[in-house]
Structure 1
Amino acid sequence: MICFAQIPLMSPGSIAAELASYSSDWKAHFNTSHYQGEWTVLPLRAPGGKYHIVPDLMMEQNYADTAHMKYFPSVNSLLRSFGCPVQSVRFLNLKAGACIKPHRDRELAFEMGEARLHFPIITNPDVAFFVEDNRLNMQAGECWYINANLTHQVHNNGNTDRVHLVVDCLVNDWLRELFSHADKHTKADIVNIEEQKQIIEALRLQNTPTATQLANQLERELGAL
């Protein structure tokens, strides 16, 4: 199981300039129990192209650009370089002095068919991003994968905001090849078979193409045990 990895992708430096010149109103992250201080979001791609970061909608298939995307040609250029399906795309701004509490985004992991990629756009040395007990040294312009199914937390102890471009995408052969060249931190994955069966059943009940794809992959992995 991959806990986190530095991926051989780079984000254009022009994204920061585009972000600085765009004054659209950011929204508070919906899950207020997960953070202290200010944590805001600017959605660039979402279900139906509308403003959504609600988990119940994140499995929808009809992801589309929001009205904000046209102001970020550098992000568009970056996404066009992807050879895998892209779902949610958003900027997340953890304000100076704010923190994201320890939490898990269940079932969101490379091994479960979906990868969350972080591109630090604006950061500072006093940002502490932890996956379990490991602190990640994320620098602007880099690309990092985190296994969001593991406990993670972030503390912005600096005096400036921390902005990441966060991209959720589906795992395919192109992404597997990219990950094969990544600097990965891994650990043994202890599979709870009954829990996996329950996840598969829940995905089948959603009856969407994405959920079916994930269920099929999980069934193949169980069959290989």
Structure 2
Amino acid sequence: MKLKTSFIQLPLLFDAQRLLAEINALDASCWRDHPQKFPGNFALPLISVEGDPANDGVAGPMRPTPYLEHCPYLMQVLEKIGAVWGRSRLMKLSGHAEVKPHVDLNYYWRERVRVHVPVVTQPAVRFICGDEEVNMKAGECWLFDTWRMHRVINDAAAERIHLVADTVGSERFWNTVDRGRDPFAGSVTENWHPETFSGLASPSPPRLTYESVNFPDVMTPWELREHLLFLLDDTRPHEQLARVRQIASRFITVWQEIWAAHGDAPHAWPIYREKLDAFEQQIHRFAGELKFNSNMSFIEGMNGLIFIGALGDRRQPTATQGMRRAS
């Protein structure tokens, strides 16, 4: 999600040692290689499609994996943050490993923020987003702008482990975000202090809310328009930009026409597909040199948000679609 600042620290502080104790109680076999096999990157699935730890997808009902159910304090942490939870994992970065520079262009992350709670970390772990850099300390709670170029560098010999949870948020969540701090705002945050949450002595785990709907079968014309305007407004000036805007504007009217006649009825999907494929061909013809302000390819953003997100007839909902890396 695009944020107003590179980083926001939420006013919450968790017990990293208690989180680590729960993680260490899980078998080492629970950890999996990164889906794209990036060296030194590992994941332990906590919330996934249908609760299947082997499913790295981002389309489908998100449910707890068996691993999450063995982590009661971690569940309390998620409940305290307070949101509708999507795909969530523990992410491990080996010593002297990195998450290479990337922008999250996938439809899934267009409207979701990525919450980080460091569990094991060191001062030598650097999280870089745009032109700014922070060291997220153990137990803190952070958001960052996934639409900016970002990377993580672990210059230490020891590993880094973060709780990484994706969410569209909630009313309570965004109220908490409003009380967060921009670490680069200077004196504005001098008197800012996070709330310490050590956990509750509850015999039953909290009832978390998990997302059940995340990708449309057919994108509505209104959502389509919003995403296209978002992409075009973030595009650097170029001699072809006006032509691409014209093509996009006409495509919106075409999509509106089909929607008015058929809505998202499956019998109309071939009609949508024909028009979407024709639009994609035009974009490839005229927008090949366009770049976003992050220097990422305009076509890659169109692929992640529109060509994959607009119609579900050919969707292969994996974590690798429409994005370069996952931090």
Cα distance in 2 between the residues matched to 1:202 and 1:104:
17
Cα distance in 1 between the residues matched to 2:84 and 2:118:
21
What secondary structure is seen at the aligned counterpart in 1 of 2:28? coil
Please list, as runs of the form range in 1=range in 2, the aligned pairs for 1:3-42 lying within 5 A after superposition. 3-13=6-16, 14-25=18-29, 26-32=31-37, 35-36=38-39, 38-42=40-44
Counterpart of 1:219 in structure 2 is none
Matched residue pairs, number? 198
* TM-score (normalised: structure 2): 0.54
Cα distance in 1 between the residues matched to 2:182 and 2:41:
28
CA contact (8 A) 2:107 2:309 kept: no
CA contact (8 A) 2:47 2:68 kept: yes
* Deviations 1:47-80, CA, capped at 9 Å, x for gaps: 11012463xx2132x1111111122111111122
Flag structure 2 segments of 5+ consecutive residues without an equivalent: 185-230, 236-244, 249-297, 314-327
Counterpart of 1:74 in structure 2 is 73
Report how far residue 108 of structure 1 moved. Answer: 7.2
Equivalent residue letter for 2:33: A
Report how far residue 128 of structure 1 moved. Answer: 1.4
Report how far residue 107 of structure 1 moved. Answer: 5.0
Equivalent residue letter for 2:311: L
**Deviating 4+ runs (over 6 angstroms):** 195-198
CA contact (8 A) 2:125 2:154 kept: yes
Report how far residue 15 of structure 1 moved. Answer: 0.5
Indicate which of 192, 195, 205 corresponds to 2:311.
Answer: 205
RMSD between aligned alpha carbons? 2.7
Cα distance in 2 between the residues matched to 1:53 and 1:178:
31
| Paired-residue identity, % | 24
Q: Considering only CA atoms, is the larger Rg found in Structure 1 or Structure 2?
A: 2
Equivalent residue letter for 2:5: I
Report 1 or 2 for greater relative contact order, CA contacts < 8 Å, sequence distance ≥ 6.
1
Cα distance in 2 between the residues matched to 1:3 and 1:90:
22
* TM-score (normalised: structure 1): 0.77
Counterpart of 1:59 in structure 2 is 59
Equivalent residue letter for 1:97: H
**Structure 1 or 2: larger helix share?**
2
Change (3 A) 1:134 1:12: same
Equivalent residue letter for 1:21: A
Change (3 A) 1:15 1:124: same
Indicate which of 49, 52, 64 corresponds to 1:50.
Answer: 52
What secondary structure is seen at the aligned counterpart in 2 of 1:96? coil
Equivalent residue letter for 1:132: G
